[in-house]
């Protein structure tokens, strides 16, 4: 998308059925498991976006063969023996990539550096580095953020503790590489574990590739094992689905997201339950999950720690409710692509809302009349996609740098326009 800004066109109602792109979270986890597996895996319809391309590029720089076959990816696994003896990896602003690849690099034998854009150099990773050092890895970071230098000679195994309150991706990265340590790994989570559904997703994908982990609430036992290559289908992205469910809540009518159900690996399907609390109806069928709104929206008080990637989406629905909405449990959102509490509050106020910000969340007080606004996106795909939604009801909503959605959803604005024209 070449434009510097895009204006969202209002509509009267929504009557749409759509299948969003495949899940970034599942795609990047499946790529790691396939890369470490024995044999050739075929990933069916993986997400093709900036975040997954930098993962594929990094694996290729490490000497692995990853190639496209129509809409699929073929991955020749290395069986845990990373071919390259040195490499410099540049992962843009991909949080999954930096955390998963940092852990994977420690399994190699050589010198590696992993780095990203300026915002990535502000995103903490020291808790993961500390955990990997407990397993014998040699890693260095001057700031506790990327760039990270890895002097790799494998992981010895043993017991390790890791903090869980900043990002569940630290634990996921550690879990996926742990089977290739020289001895079994016991992982103890220190304190609260945020976004537990994403850890459950990691464990489920590992199991699909043949590695079983004994998981308790805060302890994980990982025996020495190897992944087995397989054919693996990637389901639609539930975080991306939230924008279309929210569109129906905001504009009225209904939106069906195809290919998702309660049995999804992604905890973000739970976003629908929050919309139900706000006054929407949820219908589940073999074709997908449908959100419908015919009446008023009500403000709610909710903990979104387990569905934090949809907190921005719910915040814009809150603009149209008949009372305040409080979102809690998302302190870790301050360390994402941008400060998804502080910067989000700045943009919501442009619509006329009063926003009370606190350490782990915020309260949105909807305005009497929502005004159009020109929205800064902070190079954050979720800021662009969520804050576009008020434009379905309010004229004059302009999104700056709309191309930032390429991180996970390159065709988002085309798809948003398509559901508007179906109205």
Residues marked as catalytic = 309
Burial class (CB in 10 A: 0-12, 13-18, 19+), 398: middle
State the Cα–Cα distance between residues 351 and 19, nearest whole angstrom.
Answer: 29
Q: Is 133 left (phi over 0), alpha (psi -120 to 50) or beta?
A: alpha
Instruction: Count CA atoms within 13 Å of residue 246 on its CB side.
Output: 32
How far, in Å, CA of 124 to CA of 339, rounded?
13
Which residues have CB under 8 Å from 100's CB, separation 6+? 28, 29, 32, 55, 169, 172, 173, 176
Radius of gyration of the chain (CA): 21
**N- to C-terminal Cα distance for the chain?**
24
**What is the helix (H) or strand (E) element at residue 415, kind and residue range?**
helix 412-421
Residue 114 contacts residue 147 (beta carbons within 8 Å): yes
Per the CB < 8 A criterion, the answer to whether 201 and 265 are in contact is yes
- HEC secondary structure over 60-104: HHCCCEEEEECCEEEEECCCCCCCCCEEEEECCCCHHHHHHHHHH
Query: How deeply is 265 buried, as exposed, middle or buried, from its count of CB atoms within 10 A (0-12, 13-18, 19+)?
Result: buried
**Dist CA 327 CA 278 (whole Å):** 13
Q: Are 398 and 4 in contact (CB under 8 A)?
A: no
């Amino acid at each position: 998308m070449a434009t510097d800004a895009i204006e969202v066109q209002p509509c009267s109602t929504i009557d749409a059925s759509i299948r969003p792109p495949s899940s970034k979270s599942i795609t990047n986890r499946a790529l790691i498991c396939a890369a470490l597996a024995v044999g050739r895996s075929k990933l069916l319809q993986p997400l093709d976006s900036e975040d997954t391309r930098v993962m594929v590029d990094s694996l290729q720089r490490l000497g692995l063969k990853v190639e496209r076959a129509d809409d699929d990816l073929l991955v020749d696994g290395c069986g845990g023996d990373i071919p390259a003896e040195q490499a410099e990896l540049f992962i843009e602003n991909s949080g999954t990539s930096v955390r998963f690849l940092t852990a994977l690099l420690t399994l190699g034998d050589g010198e590696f550096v992993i780095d990203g854009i300026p915002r990535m150099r502000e995103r903490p990773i020291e808790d993961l580095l500390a955990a990997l050092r407990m397993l014998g890895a040699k890693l260095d970071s001057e700031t506790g953020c990327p760039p990270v230098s890895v002097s790799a000679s494998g992981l010895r195994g043993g017991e390790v503790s890791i903090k869980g309150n900043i990002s569940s991706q630290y634990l996921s990265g550690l879990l996926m590489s742990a089977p290739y340590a020289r001895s079994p790994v016991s992982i103890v989570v220190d304190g609260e574990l945020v976004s537990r559904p994403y850890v459950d997703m990691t464990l489920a994908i590992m199991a699909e590739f043949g590695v079983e982990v004994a998981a308790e609430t805060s302890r994980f036992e990982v025996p020495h094992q190897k992944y087995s290559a397989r054919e693996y289908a990637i389901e639609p992205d539930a975080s991306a689905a939230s924008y279309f469910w929210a569109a129906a809540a905001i504009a009225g009518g209904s939106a069906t997201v195809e290919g998702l159900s309660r049995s999804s690996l992604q905890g973000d399907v739970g976003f629908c339950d929050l919309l139900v609390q706000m006054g929407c109806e949820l219908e589940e069928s073999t074709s997908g999950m449908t959100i419908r709104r015919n009446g008023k929206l009500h403000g709610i008080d909710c903990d979104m720690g387990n569905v934090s990637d949809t907190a921005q989406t719910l915040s814009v629905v809150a603009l149209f409710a008949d009372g305040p909405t409080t979102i809690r449990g998302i302190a870790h959102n301050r360390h994402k692509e941008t400060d998804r509490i502080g910067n989000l509050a700045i943009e919501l106020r442009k619509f006329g809302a009063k926003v009370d910000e606190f350490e782990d969340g915020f309260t949105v007080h909807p305005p009497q009349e929502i005004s159009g606004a020109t929205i800064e996106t902070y190079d954050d795909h979720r800021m662009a996609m969520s804050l576009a939604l008020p434009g379905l009801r309010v004229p004059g909503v302009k999104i700056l740098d709309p191309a930032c959605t390429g991180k996970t959803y390159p065709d988002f604005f085309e798809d948003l326009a398509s559901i508007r024209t179906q109205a």
